[in-house]
Every structure is written in C-alpha cells, then in structure tokens.
Chains A and B, each alone.
With several copies, the nearest count.
Chain A
C-alpha cells in the first residue's frame, strides 16, 4: 500500500493573543532585531500514513480537526505527499 508523508500546520487564530510569539519577539528585539514584527508560534506535526489517497485524505482531515488542533483557538492546514516506497 502506498505511504504518504503529511505535514500539519497548526496556528493560533489571528484574534488570539500569542504570548509565546510575543516573548520571542521581545527576545529578538533585545538582541537588536528591531525590524522583526508579528511573531507567531505554531506547531508543525509530521506523520506518515499508509493507505489509498482518498481515504488517507479524509482521515487526515478528520484527525486534524478532532485531535491535532482545537478549532476554538486554532487554525490548521495540511499537506500530503506520496512517499517513495
């Protein structure tokens, strides 16, 4: 069966304060990177799925929505790529 490599990107919704991003931004400013703004910290989840493309896509969508992200606060998108066996 084919294998797929998936990347799921989970980011906080724009309306939600991101204390981690703010901390990084402050640290960067301290180090002289004054031209940096809008820092946001999200998650990158990588995983491998075995199966046929349509099923795998549906599964990934469901997993992302139900487990890998919390739709109340987070946005998520994903990429899927077939993996050479």
Chain B
C-alpha cells in the first residue's frame, strides 16, 4: 500500500502530536492515509495506549499464588479456592458522564460487565465509586441524579447487583465528576477465557448490536481537555441497551462453557479496531477483516466510522477451529447479529478491506506499542505549602458534640442509603452483607462455604496533600475494610483519575501515587491485577486550569473461608466492650473535620505504617474468626467519633467511651483526626481476656474504649485528661446523618 500525501499538518485531528506523527511515518516507512492515522491516533491515545502511565506501572507487584490472571487481559482473575476464580476490574466513564450522566454512567456499567464476561466469568457484583462537586449546586444535583439513574437502570435491568461503592463531594470535581465502576465475576478455573486471535486460519466473528455512528472518536475525546469548545461540538452520545447486553452475556458464557471459543474480547474504547488489534497482538499474528461485512445501523457509514465507532454491546469471538458452525448456531438462538468478518493470517499486519480495496495495512505491533513518555514531575509549591502549614493556631471548638453532628451531615459522610436503595443490590440472591451494613460487601458463593468481599476506596484529600502516602493509604483502607467483614485481602484493581499529565504538578502526583500503591500492595500482599487510567480530568476556566484532586481509586477483592463467620459495623444486642485496634490519632491534618469545620484543606497526612496496618488487619481477622467479635468498623472520614456514631446508629443503641488524650495532643485530633490503621471492634462482655490475649499474642496495639449501652439512646464520649465530654442523642445523630443525600437526590 502506498500513500504519499503528508497529513502532518492535521496530526492533531487524529489525536497525534507532530512528533508522534513523525514517529509513525518512520516506523511505517511511508505516509499513512487518513484512516490509518486515525486508527493509530486512537490506539496511541492514553485510553488505549497508556503512553504516559504505562512506564510507571513497572513498579506494581503483579504476581502471587492467588493471581490466576494478572494485568494485560480484559480483567484480572484471582483464585479463591475450590476451583473458583473471581474476575474483577474497575473502569472510568468520567467524560461521558459529565456530558450525559444517565447514558454515560449506564454505558460505564455495560462496558465493565463485558470485560468480566469476556473472561468467561458470570458477573455477580458491581460497585460504583462516584465523585461530585459542590453538593449544593444544581449541576451536582443534575449529575448525581443522572449517574445514579444510569447505573441503576443498567445494573438493575441486566440483573447484576450493585453492592457497594463510595460517593464523595469536593469542589474540584465540579466540572469533572468521576464515575468509576467496578465489576466482579465468578468462574470455574477451566472456563477462563482470553482475548486472543489464537492461531492462523481462525475466523473472526462479530456479535452483538449493529454499528452506528455513536460515541465516535470517544477514545480520543476522553483523552482531551474538556473545554468550552468541546462542549459545543459534542460527539454523539452512546446509548446502552441492557437487554441486548443480557443476551450477549448469556450467549458468550454459553459459548465459552461449551468449549466453542478460542478467544473473546469486548469492543470498548476505539471499538472494532482496539479489540481486534489487541487480540492479534496477543496471538503474535496478523489479520485481515472486510469492513463491508460489519453490520451497520445507519446508511453510508465510512471506514473511519466502522473502525472507531463505540456503539455498545458488541463483542469479537474467535471460534475454535472446526466448530464455527456450532458457535454461529448458538449465537443465532439468542437473536444476536452475528457475522464472520475476517480471518487470522500468518503475517504481522493489521489489514482492512472495504469495497474490494485494502484501506489499512499497518503492523500489528506498531498499533499496540504506543510511544512511552516519562515526564518530569514537580510538586506544586502551593500544595507543598498547604501540607506544611502550621495548624497549631486552629482553635478547638467549644461544642464538640455539635461538631460531630455537623460532620455526620456532611454529604461525604452522610448515609448513602438514598443512593444504594435505587440499586438492586440483592438480585442473584448472593448478597450476604448489603450496602451500608459494613465496610465492604460480602457475597456468598453458591455451592460452597466461601464468601467473596469487595470494596472500593480512595481519600482524594490525602492524595492531594501527599500523593505517595494518600495512594498507599487507599490500598491500606481497602484491605482494612475487607478485614472488617472477615475477608482476607487478595488483590486489587486500580482506577487512576488525574489531571493533564503534561503538567509537571499532575505528573508528579501520578508518579508518586503509583509508587505509593505499589509499595502498599507489596507490603499487604495484594498484587495489582489490572486497572484503568483516566487523565485530563480538568477544566479550563479562562487561562486557569482546574484539575480534579488526584483520585487513584482502589478496588479490592477478598475471600471469607466461611461466609457465616463475618462482621458488620452495627453494635449487636447485649453488652459489649469496645476496643480500638491500632493507635489514636494525634493530629487534625488533612482531615474532613479541618475542611468542614475550619475551612482548611491543609496539613500533613497522618503517617502510614504499613507494617502496623498488616498487624491490625491480622488482629481484626483473628478476632472475627475466633468468634470474639461480630462487629468491626474502621474510622475513616470524620475519625473515631464519626465511626462510633455510625456503629451506634446502625445498631440502634447507645455507647459510652472514655478516650485518653495523650500529652500535647488536641482533643479534636483524638475525636476527628484521620489516622490510618485503626479498627473498632465490640467484644461480648466476659470475653475480653480471650480477645486481649489474642491481640497481645499477635503484637497488635489496642485500647479498651468503653462499652455499648443496649438500653441507652445516647452516644457519650469522655476525653479524660482534657476535661471534655460530649453526649448526643441517637435521634439527633441519626437525623443529621440520614437527611443530606435525600435532599440532594430530591
């Protein structure tokens, strides 16, 4: 194939810099045509090619006896025992959700579910990690309502329970909300499928919805700054169809389980091109596909549209040689559009024909090996100054009870029930621990005693003020949340949401965050099995760029050997002694309290000791498994006082604790500081000695805090040494905690 005219002046329209265009020409040995340039631009975009992030990823630990499938496939897979595996992955749909929240979020769910069943796993849980701007603004209401409607519309209809997630509010997300969706699927080891073209002679089968012009250029779109201009020339919105996805899911799983499939992948970002060229690359082979055979929804579609359309609910299947007929018959039964569009060949080219002519002829490797950039990262002096800020002048409020009530009514801390009640969280009848009941969701595995636990976590304020510690803390919190339900943490998936990596301040955050995740995963023995990157989450306000708080969301999966041995956060009937595992907080830096009450986003993120974290997790698990506690909760935003209040509200009973305020420590730090590596448990009265022996034996620091008060309706916290006491009725706490999201959601 030859093409001589240079497209260099238009490089940007293909999503390429001129340097990248020159690199393409030199690797190709000729000028590309426009289709080829667009295909390369899409494949080298951050979304598909990870050009700015991949070089950092080598730091991640990715192996371990529990890892059945590490990064590089549609989803990671961990072994949970008894021949079962769990496939899981998280993905962002931030930009589409900012433009059209309902469909943006809905197609986010659809996309991640396809990644899961492409592994041969039956999706069995979804979690959604959401970030929005100012809770009082009409835009936030519009986005939150739309996103929740989209997730519930798609997840409820397809029948996969949405069992957990997070919702936080911060002004940095005002224009760039984050919608990260995690899905889990269950599979038998022998059904594990791969995204490969297999061997020479294999057929390439397109199955699912017809191709339309929707979402065109989505891959490029999601890698560009959102500006006023791009608001105007919005690409067509992608609309999801959960009913079609359900058919595709059932058909794909049936085909994989019948042994008819040599390779499978969904069409996600950059549509047909990215799925087929990744599958070819994994097989180390070339392919030829005939674009005339692509089923279309609209008249007159041209190759660029056929190649890059992001129409939803489409997959590529490669039949086992000799069983093509059986596969096509099976797919037809599900009334899906099914067409053989190409073949695997003994060369290294990615070839497309249209109307009898070759319209694209590129090396498979060139498409899959995007240039890698290592940039210079420099911490923003502004942020450093905020971190180093002296907080000793911050006054201690007189009425700390009122502060507690205030914090409970902050939308980031308040009850998320108005959201998760809109999600079917029980369909499939596996949900043992429902949203709101504990720090992680727990699902049983039918036909075994085991349970699977999942959580998603990130405290963006920590990451903003200290990206290394903040990101490591997200991993630690996720692992701790799993321990709080009685699950052994196994592995993570991450979703790195950042601003523009070309800005040194942002690149610094990205690099530090990746290093923090890597170190925490190594220390806690939870390897990284996959992830997703969403960059350019920033908005131009005049000349000024407003980037989101760096948000590396961590999705973690764990296993309960016996699902009946577990814990939740509510205080249980009967008198219990409350213990804190770990150490009291000693500072108010980087806390929600400091921001909400004092209007300051500043200070040092509490130090994270990963060795201590490991011991607290071990201690929590040991207590739960020894039957010494069925209550566990870790303090996060709002600190110890908020965590205690949440336990009392959930249990419908009061408590009384006495906290020793060490010399030189502020009382508000002990109450509301956000030190890591802490878990509150409740040991039935009479079993204290056994619990203390167990913790002592494991070297877990602990302190007895006080007791639950089954008959009482007050939460009382005495600070000894500081001569401070706060006592608030459950009713007041509950009202403050339940109202905010009902109001926002309307």
Interface of A toward B, CB cutoff 8 Å: 13-19, 22-23, 26, 70, 72-73
Bound: A15/B213 CA distance, A: 7
Q: Are B239 and A15 in contact (CB under 8 A)?
A: no
Chain A residue, CB-CB nearest to B213: A15
Number of interface residues of B (CB under 8 A): 21
Interface membership of B68, Cβ < 8 A: no
Q: Residues 225-252 of chain B: 1 if any A CB is under 8 Å from the residue's CB, otherwise 0?
A: 0000000001011111101100000000
* Known contacts A16-B236, A19-B243; 19 further A-B pairs (Cβ under 8 A): A14-B298, A15-B212, A15-B213, A15-B214, A16-B237, A16-B239, A17-B209, A17-B214, A17-B238, A18-B239, A22-B241, A22-B244, A26-B335, A72-B99, A72-B100, A72-B234, A72-B237, A73-B100, A73-B103
- Inside 8 A of A17's CB, which chain B residues have their CB? 209, 212, 214, 238-239, 241, 297, 311-312
Least CB distance from A53 to B in Å reads 27
Bound: A15/B234 CA distance, A: 13
Least CB distance from A55 to B in Å reads 25
Chain A residue, CB-CB nearest to B241: A19
Bound: A23/B243 CA distance, A: 9
- Inside 8 A of A23's CB, which chain B residues have their CB? 243
Bound: A23/B244 CA distance, A: 9
Chain B residue, CB-CB nearest to A15: B213
Give the residues from 256 to 308 in chain B that come closer than 8 angstroms, CB to CB, to chain A. Answer: 297-298
Bound: A13/B237 CA distance, A: 10
- Inside 8 A of B298's CB, which chain A residues have their CB? 14-15
Least CB distance from A51 to B in Å reads 23
- Inside 8 A of B99's CB, which chain A residues have their CB? 72
Q: Are B244 and A19 in contact (CB under 8 A)?
A: yes
- Inside 8 A of A22's CB, which chain B residues have their CB? 241, 244
Q: Residues 326-359 of chain B: 1 if any A CB is under 8 Å from the residue's CB, otherwise 0?
A: 0000000001000000000000000000000000
Give the residues from 206 to 234 in chain B that come closer than 8 angstroms, CB to CB, to chain A. Answer: 209, 212-214, 234
Least CB distance from B621 to A in Å reads 45
Least CB distance from B305 to A in Å reads 10
- Inside 8 A of A73's CB, which chain B residues have their CB? 100, 103, 237, 239
Least CB distance from B154 to A in Å reads 11
Give the residues from 135 to 162 in chain B that come closer than 8 angstroms, CB to CB, to chain A. Answer: none
Least CB distance from A12 to B in Å reads 8
- Inside 8 A of A72's CB, which chain B residues have their CB? 99-100, 234, 237
- Inside 8 A of B335's CB, which chain A residues have their CB? 26
Chain B residue, CB-CB nearest to A13: B236
- Inside 8 A of B236's CB, which chain A residues have their CB? 13, 15-16
Main secondary structure of the interface of A (DSSP, over half): loop
Least CB distance from A50 to B in Å reads 18
Least CB distance from A28 to B in Å reads 14
Bound: A15/B239 CA distance, A: 11
- Inside 8 A of A70's CB, which chain B residues have their CB? 100
Bound: A19/B270 CA distance, A: 22
Q: Which 8 A-B pairs have the closest CB atoms?
A: A19-B241, A17-B239, A15-B213, A73-B237, A72-B237, A15-B236, A72-B100, A16-B239
Q: Are A16 and B214 in contact (CB under 8 A)?
A: yes
Bound: A23/B237 CA distance, A: 20
A sample of 20 cross-chain residue pairs with beta-carbon separation below 8 angstroms, ordered by A number, consists of A13-B236, A15-B298, A16-B214, A16-B236, A16-B237, A16-B239, A17-B212, A17-B239, A17-B241, A17-B297, A19-B241, A19-B244, A22-B241, A23-B243, A72-B99, A72-B100, A72-B234, A73-B100, A73-B103, A73-B239
Least CB distance from B110 to A in Å reads 11
Q: Residues 72-108 of chain B: 1 if any A CB is under 8 Å from the residue's CB, otherwise 0?
A: 0000000000000000000000000001100100000
Chain B residue, CB-CB nearest to A20: B241
Least CB distance from A25 to B in Å reads 12
Bound: A26/B100 CA distance, A: 22
Least CB distance from A29 to B in Å reads 10
Chain B residue, CB-CB nearest to A26: B335
Bound: A13/B236 CA distance, A: 10
Chain A residue, CB-CB nearest to B216: A15
- Inside 8 A of A19's CB, which chain B residues have their CB? 239-241, 243-244
Chain B residue, CB-CB nearest to A29: B335
Chain A residue, CB-CB nearest to B99: A72
Bound: A1/B244 CA distance, A: 32
Least CB distance from B150 to A in Å reads 13
Least CB distance from A76 to B in Å reads 16
- Inside 8 A of A15's CB, which chain B residues have their CB? 212-214, 236, 298
Bound: A14/B298 CA distance, A: 9
Bound: A73/B239 CA distance, A: 9
Least CB distance from A44 to B in Å reads 18
Chain A residue, CB-CB nearest to B236: A15
Bound: A83/B341 CA distance, A: 35
- Inside 8 A of A18's CB, which chain B residues have their CB? 239
Least CB distance from A14 to B in Å reads 8
- Inside 8 A of B214's CB, which chain A residues have their CB? 15-17
Chain A residue, CB-CB nearest to B234: A72
Q: Residues 460-480 of chain B: 1 if any A CB is under 8 Å from the residue's CB, otherwise 0?
A: 000000000000000000000
Least CB distance from A52 to B in Å reads 27
Chain B residue, CB-CB nearest to A23: B243
Bound: A72/B100 CA distance, A: 8
- Inside 8 A of B244's CB, which chain A residues have their CB? 19, 22
Bound: A14/B299 CA distance, A: 11
Least CB distance from A19 to B in Å reads 4
- Inside 8 A of B100's CB, which chain A residues have their CB? 70, 72-73
Bound: A15/B209 CA distance, A: 14
Least CB distance from B51 to A in Å reads 30
Least CB distance from B559 to A in Å reads 37
Bound: A72/B234 CA distance, A: 8
Bound: A45/B213 CA distance, A: 23
- Inside 8 A of A14's CB, which chain B residues have their CB? 298
Bound: A53/B335 CA distance, A: 31
- Inside 8 A of B234's CB, which chain A residues have their CB? 72
- Inside 8 A of A26's CB, which chain B residues have their CB? 335
Least CB distance from B152 to A in Å reads 16
Give the residues from 179 to 215 in chain B that come closer than 8 angstroms, CB to CB, to chain A. Answer: 209, 212-214
Bound: A72/B101 CA distance, A: 12
Bound: A17/B311 CA distance, A: 8
Least CB distance from A41 to B in Å reads 12
Least CB distance from B242 to A in Å reads 8
Bound: A1/B276 CA distance, A: 42
Bound: A9/B213 CA distance, A: 24
Bound: A14/B297 CA distance, A: 10
Chain B residue, CB-CB nearest to A12: B239
Least CB distance from A48 to B in Å reads 15
Bound: A16/B309 CA distance, A: 12
Most chain B beta-carbon neighbours within 10 Å: one of A14, A17, A22, A70: A17
Least CB distance from A62 to B in Å reads 16
Least CB distance from A43 to B in Å reads 14
Chain B residue, CB-CB nearest to A16: B239
Bound: A72/B232 CA distance, A: 10
